[in-house]
């Protein structure tokens, strides 16, 4: 039980760190990748909590599709925030 709590805290800190990095960075591509990483860690947390259907949905839509759309849009516009 202690191991589960430690892993949960580490993953929560990873999500918070990735979210803060995504907000604070001026490089929009890095921001989109950090948001995708945060979403991927959340999907792993769902797997640990034994919700595989939610984990698959979060990984495919949250981490995969959304990040792909952001990267495509950043490629069509500009990479750096002014």
CA 31/CA 12 separation, integer angstroms: 18
Which has the closest alpha carbon to 34: 43, 44, 24?
24
**Domain range enclosing 37:** 27-82
Report yes or no on 15 lying in a domain: no
CA 76/CA 25 separation, integer angstroms: 19
Which has the closest alpha carbon to 4: 39, 50, 38?
50
**pTM of the complete model:** 0.84
Domain count, the chain: 1
Q: pLDDT value at position 2? A: 84
CA 45/CA 7 separation, integer angstroms: 9
* pLDDT of the chain, 82 residues: tens digit per residue: 788 889 999 999 999 999 999 999 999 999 999 999 999 999 999 999 999 999 999 999 988 899 899 999 999 998 877 6
Report yes or no on 22 lying in a domain: no
């Amino acid at each position: 039980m202690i191991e589960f709590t430690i892993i949960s805290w580490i993953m929560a800190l990873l999500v918070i760190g990735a979210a803060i990095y995504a907000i604070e960075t001026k490089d929009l591509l890095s921001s989109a990748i950090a948001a995708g990483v945060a979403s991927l860690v959340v999907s792993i947390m769902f797997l640990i909590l034994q919700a595989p259907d939610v984990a698959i949905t979060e990984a495919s839509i949250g981490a995969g599709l959304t990040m792909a759309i952001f990267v495509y849009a950043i490629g069509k516009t500009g990479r750096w925030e002014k």
